[in-house]
């Protein structure tokens, strides 16, 4: 499945960025998404193959932020059956 074919709710909650914007995405952008009650927000550092999965928006904060590495499967309730491992991407 291509990201453009994913449901709108998932596309809004996923951010794949270059390293220079990681800090912006993890701070300001994460607060904005939480404030607007996006249910799940991923920040992906494609170079380091690390993903921060934000869930449980509460005000401007998240109740959970979990770091996933290249060996971890990334899944989301928004896409049943979807999984990806950053370590397998070229």
In a domain, 31, yes or no: yes
Q: Per-residue pLDDT tens for 69-82? A: 999 999 998 889 99
C-alpha to C-alpha distance for 90 and 79, rounded to whole angstroms = 23
54: left (phi over 0), alpha (psi -120 to 50) or beta: beta
Provide the domain count of the chain. 1
Residue 20: predicted pLDDT? 58
The C-alpha angle with vertex 37 and arms to 48 and 14, in degrees rounded to 5, equals 30
Q: Per-residue pLDDT tens for 33-75? A: 999 999 999 998 888 889 999 999 999 999 999 999 999 999 9
Residue 15: predicted pLDDT? 53
In a domain, 26, yes or no: yes
In a domain, 72, yes or no: yes
The answer to whether 83 and 18 are in contact (CB under 8 A) is: no
In a domain, 56, yes or no: yes
Which range has the worst mean pLDDT, 19-28, 61-70, 79-88? 19-28
Q: The pTM is what?
A: 0.76
In a domain, 90, yes or no: no
We report the CATH number of the domain holding residue 20 as: 3.90.1570.10
Range of the domain at 39: 3-84
**Given CA atoms 14, 49, 57, 33 in this order, what sign does their dihedral have?**
negative
In a domain, 89, yes or no: no
């Amino acid at each position: 499945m291509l990201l453009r074919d994913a449901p709108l709710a998932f596309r809004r909650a996923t951010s794949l960025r270059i390293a220079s914007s990681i800090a912006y995405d993890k701070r300001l952008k994460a607060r904005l998404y939480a404030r607007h009650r996006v249910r799940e927000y991923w920040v992906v550092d494609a170079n380091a193959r690390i993903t921060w999965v934000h869930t449980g928006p509460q005000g401007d904060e998240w109740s959970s932020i979990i770091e996933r590495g290249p060996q971890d499967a990334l899944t989301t309730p928004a896409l049943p059956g979807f999984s990806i491992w950053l370590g397998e991407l070229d």
